[in-house]
Chain A
Amino acid sequence: MRRPPVLLIFLVFCVAGIMAGLAFAWLVAPMQPAGVTPDRLSPTERELVIRLIADSFAADGDRDAAARRLNGLGPAAEGTLVEMIASDLTKERPSVTANNLIGLAEGLTIGAPIVKLLARPAGIPSATPSASSVPTSADITATPAAKGQFELTERVVFCSAGDDADRIEINIIGNNGQPQAGVAITVFWDDGRDSFFTGFTPNQGPGYADFTMKQGAIYSVAIAEDEVSVAGLEPQLCADGRMGGWRLEYRARES
């Protein structure tokens, strides 16, 4: 019986080795990247980063940084921004979120028709209070609310995993440190108001009441006979794309 030539054996095993080496290098232990540039982000992540760029630009107004960051996402980023603005309009996203995207497109002079249509004419102030003017929980300790029967002690955004939580949750603590039922709460918005009382949701405790917000509306809250203590409340965008709400806590002042 004739044996195959040595060269043939060498070549056959060499090809098998190359295939095994490639399979190992590509599938089993691929080279880990030292770091990829933002233009390699997935479409979903790219949209989240565009929202982040818009929120950041709304806060600091740094046009150069915003342009650099958007360009870093690749040549399609401007088109994605315009698509997101259109998508937000149809989904009725909260106005701050949508306005920030429009503000970014406007600031970077992106000439899409929808941007021109939605751009705020110069000289007309925004209908939405600027986010920086809204007191945060940190500000509350520095500048206490106007004197009244109840003092706002906490104001935080909350999210509910996998669910929309577009509501205002209010907890009232009485003088004795216990939740207080039967306290009147009034919520105001552009063209309406609603009054209700704490204590009608037994599983949440006697000091609890909540109010479901509608997207696009901005709300203020007043407790009992006090003046409005919180303004500019609207649904917030959570990290998972769901809507978040506001959790407020009030304590009765010492008489």
Chain B
Amino acid sequence: MRWAAILGLVIGIGLGLLAGWVIWPVEYVDVTPDLLTADAQIDYALMVATAYEADGNLELARGRLARLGDSASVALLNAFTAAEDNQIALSGLQKLAAELELHATMPTPME
């Protein structure tokens, strides 16, 4: 009797976890940018830098980047690679990185 109860409970919990984590995992909606995919965060940082290059509004740029949470610095630095030959974005990224004191980890600006 006791073994049937324990076995039933263990199998039940296992099935419940499988269902809750794999088959029907929680769907995230109405999220904030800090939960975006890495690529989407890099693109977001690129847009922030491009807009900053044009308007020079550091408060706005800083606030926008803050929405990426802890990933902001990483996204900003990875955006250097993603910017490729987009000079406006590159210039904005360099200014933002300097303002946010990311000099140490910042790639060497290309001539």
- Asked if B54 and A132 make an inter-chain contact with CB atoms under 8 angstroms apart, the answer reads yes
On chain B, the number of residues with a Cβ less than 8 Å from chain A's Cβ atoms is 57
**Does B110 interact with chain A (Cβ within 8 Å)?**
no
List chain A positions with a Cβ less than 8 A from chain B: 3, 6-7, 9-26, 30-31, 33-38, 40-43, 45, 48-49, 52-53, 55-56, 58-60, 62, 69, 72, 96, 130-132, 134, 136-138, 156-159, 236-240, 244
User: For B48, B56, B66, B86, which residue has the most chain A Cβ atoms within 10 angstroms?
Assistant: B56
- Asked if A25 and B16 make an inter-chain contact with CB atoms under 8 angstroms apart, the answer reads yes
Task: State whether A59 and B57 are in contact (beta carbons under 8 Å apart), knowing that A13-B5, A21-B19, A41-B33 are contacts in the complex.
Answer: no
Task: State whether A157 and B44 are in contact (beta carbons under 8 Å apart), knowing that A10-B8, A18-B19, A25-B20 are contacts in the complex.
Answer: no
In the complex, chain A residues whose CB is within 8 Å of the CB of B64: 48, 52, 239
Residue-wise interface mask of B (1-21) relative to A, using a CB-CB cutoff of 8 A (1 in contact, 0 not):
100111111111111111111
- Asked if A24 and B4 make an inter-chain contact with CB atoms under 8 angstroms apart, the answer reads no
CA distance A238 to B67 in the complex (A): 13
CA distance A105 to B111 in the complex (A): 35
Contact of A36 among B15, B31, B60 (CB under 8 A): B31
In the complex, chain B residues whose CB is within 8 Å of the CB of A136: 56
Contact of B8 among A12, A26, A43, A62 (CB under 8 A): A12
| Interface SS majority for chain A | helix
CA distance A134 to B52 in the complex (A): 12
- Asked if B62 and A14 make an inter-chain contact with CB atoms under 8 angstroms apart, the answer reads no
User: For A17, A36, A69, which residue has the most chain B Cβ atoms within 10 angstroms?
Assistant: A17
- CB of A143, distance to nearest CB on chain B (Å): 14
Please, which residue of chain A has its CB at the minimum distance from the CB of B37? Answer: A35
- CB of B58, distance to nearest CB on chain A (Å): 7
In the complex, chain A residues whose CB is within 8 Å of the CB of B46: 56
- CB of B74, distance to nearest CB on chain A (Å): 13
In the complex, chain A residues whose CB is within 8 Å of the CB of B16: 17-25
- Asked if A14 and B56 make an inter-chain contact with CB atoms under 8 angstroms apart, the answer reads no
Please, which residue of chain A has its CB at the minimum distance from the CB of B5? Answer: A13
